[in-house]
């Protein structure tokens, strides 16, 4: 008996999937557990496997096609089996290749034909000079109007001021009216060539990013607080770990650890708005923003407050690699209670980030800057880093956010305190 293979739900926010690649062709035999296709979801590229053995009787969508959840993607069964009834019952089989034909723009009679002013030879005297008043000549010179194309209305056909103004008005109207020919470019005008524009298909990931962040920005009342952190002690601690213990950690690892400890002390920041209730999370699960070509992914490090810097560093690198390869599982991208976005490696000194729902806050981390600071009454070189906390005002008040930032600064400026 033929079996329909439908688009499975591969992530918690998935509404449709795009067939990235088919690993089989119609007529191929498959066994239970075989991977027949790769599907691009809003978060990652996932494998689709079959749970029954048989022959691929029909492949419905092509590579690059989007299919809603539960939509038919393939049919397997015994070779030669009749599948017409299955296809007739599924709307996905009725694919159309024709695109709607755009109607030609309708043009009004006034736009179809614009009568250009008829050139009339200007009156002249016997020596070839044009008969025009001095004022008419001056206006024509200022406006760039050719007196040879104007018929005068003055005595003996003399061109007067009114004639020049009428001719200049008619010329301007002709050049600006829809359908009129464009004015001739002067020989000294610079020529520009137009570059072709292109349409870029919106990926599933970009669609979800647009939807979720738009909802967050316009639904959650954001407010922002920034604090400047002295990074001297953190730099020294990182150098000592590398030189004496051959342990390599990044400044982002230090920020992750400090944030986790601070979150365990400030429950409101580690919360979620649920409408009628607020969930104050007992666990600290931090999402880390990772930039990829298609957009942004946020793998989640779990129980960060209970882990050391070495483990945090190792897990962050592993998850970031999986994110760039689009190999994260749904479980590795769900359940965050707080998010960190770091653009310091790009030289960005300060920025604000949009809250990642359902988190109450997101921390934006800037670059470490060389700045002059005053120590013991003397101006000396210093290292500073700005971080900005975006908070949902439905959950967090300004004082609570400030208390969290001050705790975070104290932890980073005194790295040993994170171990206590």
* Tokens coding 84: 């017409």
d(CA 37, CA 83): 21
Helix axes of 309-324 and 251-265: crossing angle, nearest 10 degrees: 110
Determine the distance from the C-alpha atom of residue 100 to the mean position of all C-alpha atoms in its chain, rounded to a whole number: 28
Phi and psi of 224, rounded to 5°?
-130, 140
* Tokens coding 260: 């986790």
**Bridge partners for 391 per DSSP:** 223, 361
Residue count of the chain: 420
Query: H/E element holding 29?
Result: strand 29-30
**Alpha-carbon torsion angle 95, 11, 35, 28, nearest 10:** -20
* Tokens coding 80: 């030669």
Phi and psi of 106, rounded to 5°?
-85, 135
On whether the CB atoms of residues 407 and 266 are closer than 8 A, the answer is: yes
- Per the rule left: phi > 0, alpha: psi between -120 and 50, beta: everything else, 289 is beta
Catalytic, 393? Answer yes
SS3 label, residue 285: coil
Q: Say which of 222, 281, 303, 393 is annotated catalytic.
A: 393
d(CA 152, CA 159): 4
Q: How far, CA to CA in Å, does 84 sit from each of 57, 69, 70, 143?
A: 11, 22, 19, 76
Q: Which residues have a catalytic role annotated?
A: 393
């Amino acid at each position: 008996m033929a079996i329909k293979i439908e688009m499975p739900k591969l992530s918690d926010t998935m509404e449709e999937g795009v067939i990235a690649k088919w690993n089989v062709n119609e007529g191929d035999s498959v066994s239970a557990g075989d991977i027949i296709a790769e599907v691009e979801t809003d978060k990652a590229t996932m494998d689709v496997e079959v749970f029954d053995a048989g022959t691929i009787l029909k492949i419905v969508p092509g590579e690059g096609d989007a299919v809603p959840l539960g939509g038919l993607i393939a049919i397997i069964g015994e070779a030669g089996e009749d599948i017409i009834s299955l296809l007739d019952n599924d709307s996905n089989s009725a694919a159309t290749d024709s695109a709607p034909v755009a109607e030609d723009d309708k043009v009004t009679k006034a736009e179809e034909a614009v009568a250009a002013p008829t050139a009339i030879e200007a009156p002249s005297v016997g020596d070839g000079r044009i008969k025009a008043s001095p004022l008419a000549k001056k206006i024509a010179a200022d406006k760039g109007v050719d007196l040879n194309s104007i018929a005068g209305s003055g005595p003996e056909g003399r061109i007067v001021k009114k004639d020049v103004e009428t001719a200049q008005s008619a010329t301007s109207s002709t050049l600006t009216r829809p359908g009129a020919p464009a004015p001739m470019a002067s020989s000294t005008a610079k020529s520009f060539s137009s570059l072709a524009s292109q349409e870029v298909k919106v990926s599933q990931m970009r669609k979800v990013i647009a939807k979720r962040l738009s909802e967050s920005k316009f639904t959650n009342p954001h407010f922002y607080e920034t604090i400047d952190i002295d990074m001297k002690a953190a730099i020294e601690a990182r150098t000592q770990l590398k030189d004496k213990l051959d342990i390599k950690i990044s400044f982002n690892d230090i920020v992750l650890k400090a944030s986790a400890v601070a979150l365990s002390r400030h429950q409101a920041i580690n919360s979620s708005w649920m409408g009628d209730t607020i969930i104050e999370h007992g666990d600290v699960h931090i999402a880390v923003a990772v930039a990829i070509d298609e957009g942004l992914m946020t793998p989640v490090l779990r129980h960060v407050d209970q882990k050391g810097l070495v483990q945090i560093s190792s897990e962050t690198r592993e998850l970031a690699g999986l994110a760039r390869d689009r190999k994260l599982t749904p479980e590795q991208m769900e359940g965050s209670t707080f998010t960190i976005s770091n653009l310091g490696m790009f030289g960005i000194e300060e920025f604000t980030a949009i809250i990642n729902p359902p988190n109450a806050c997101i921390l934006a981390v800037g670059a470490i800057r060389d700045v002059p600071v005053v120590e013991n009454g003397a101006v000396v070189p210093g290292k500073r880093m700005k971080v900005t906390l975006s908070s949902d005002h439905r959950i967090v008040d300004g004082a609570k956010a400030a208390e969290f930032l001050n705790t975070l600064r104290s932890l980073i400026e005194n790295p040993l305190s994170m171990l206590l």
